[in-house]
Amino acid sequence: MRELTYLEAIREALAEEMARDPKVFVLGEDVGEYGGAFQITKGLYEKYGERRVLDTPISESAIVGISIGAALRGYRPVAEMQFGDFISCGFDQIVNQAATLRYRYGGRASLPLVIRAPSGGYVHGGLYHSQSTEAWFFTRPGLKVVFPATPADAKGLLKAAIRDDNPVIYFEHKYLYRRAKGPVPEGDFVVPLGQAAVRREGRDLTCVSYGACLSMALAAAETMAKEGVKVEVIDLRTLQPLDWETVLGSVRKTSKLCIAHEDSLGRGVGNQIAARVAQEAFDDLDGPVVRVGAADTHVPFSPPLEEFVLPSEAKILKALRELAAY
């Protein structure tokens, strides 16, 4: 297998799906000749032309609205939000139109739509370019939510999302674009939605994570192993539908759970995970469910303040040590 960056893997998935299915097209701000703000669509305009690589006005509501209409006509649009923060401008179309459509049509219509959302901090982008917004959509029926952490999953999950007949919000972490590099299978490599991956086997406690926090969790687990504690690390990959079987099975094996994500503690998906584990696996727990996340505030522009607000390997390691000692 080749070594690709997270960004290259996303680009390859788009190119392969556009070659496979002429109904697949991409649209967004500056995705054409310029190649997108992060150069993910670079080369697609030259290969597929302006009818399949559409530059749009700076209007996320228009981008989502156009995509919904195209999906209803049988196309498979892949819409890019230049920054995931501004997905809020298309929020009504996503949660009140796209998410409800199949229900409103009694299942007689499908909506094969993917919305790519560059997300997250650690890049000193300030409060308008650093948000983690996956929790906005995690609790909304009718939407699937994906957040890959590795280049291989970035490719495989995007291909699966494009082929899905439901609207999928595909979060991709900006910090990982050029920093995360790893083996990626060539050809038609698809990772099914809704399946978590056990990245590290363990017996003493479980750490559930996704996105940029996964590498921090794995590094913390490595340190814990040197201290005699075996941590099982689960990469959720798909947040909705969430692989509860894998999560609950691991908790029942280890009896302790730590949830690490970049979103804030007050609103993150970890709250729902903690609540369900407490409800369905309470008798299996030998300690409190511990959460590691960002502080309940905006992401600062200042690098030291951003570091203070966001989770880190050190913060996850501290939580794992405290939980192991409970």
What is the per-residue pLDDT for 321?
98
Tokens of 112: 């094969």
Q: What is the mean pLDDT of each run of 10 residues along the chain (326 residues)?
A: 95 98 98 96 96 96 97 97 96 97 94 98 95 96 98 98 98 98 95 98 98 98 98 98 98 98 96 97 97 97 96 98 97
Give the separation between CA 226 and CA 156, rounded to whole angstroms: 33
E strands, 45-106, in order: 53-55, 76-80
The residue annotated as part of the active site, out of 129, 173, 261, 298, is 129
Instruction: Map tokens 């992401």 to a residue.
Output: 299
For the chain, domains (ranges, CATH) are: 2-184 (3.40.50.970), 197-324 (3.40.50.920)
Going by the DSSP 8-state scheme, the letter that residue 230 receives in this structure is -
What is the per-residue pLDDT for 1?
79
129 is catalytic: yes
Taking only Cα atoms into account, the Rg of the chain, rounded to an integer number of angstroms, comes to 19
Give the separation between CA 103 and CA 66, rounded to whole angstroms: 20
Q: Are 275 and 245 in contact (CB under 8 A)?
A: no
pTM: 0.96
Alpha helices for 134-193 (secondary structure H): 134-138, 151-163
What is the per-residue pLDDT for 235?
98
Give the separation between CA 91 and CA 89, rounded to whole angstroms: 6
Give the separation between CA 291 and CA 261, rounded to whole angstroms: 8
Q: Are 209 and 132 in contact (CB under 8 A)?
A: no
At position 58, the amino acid (one-letter code) is I
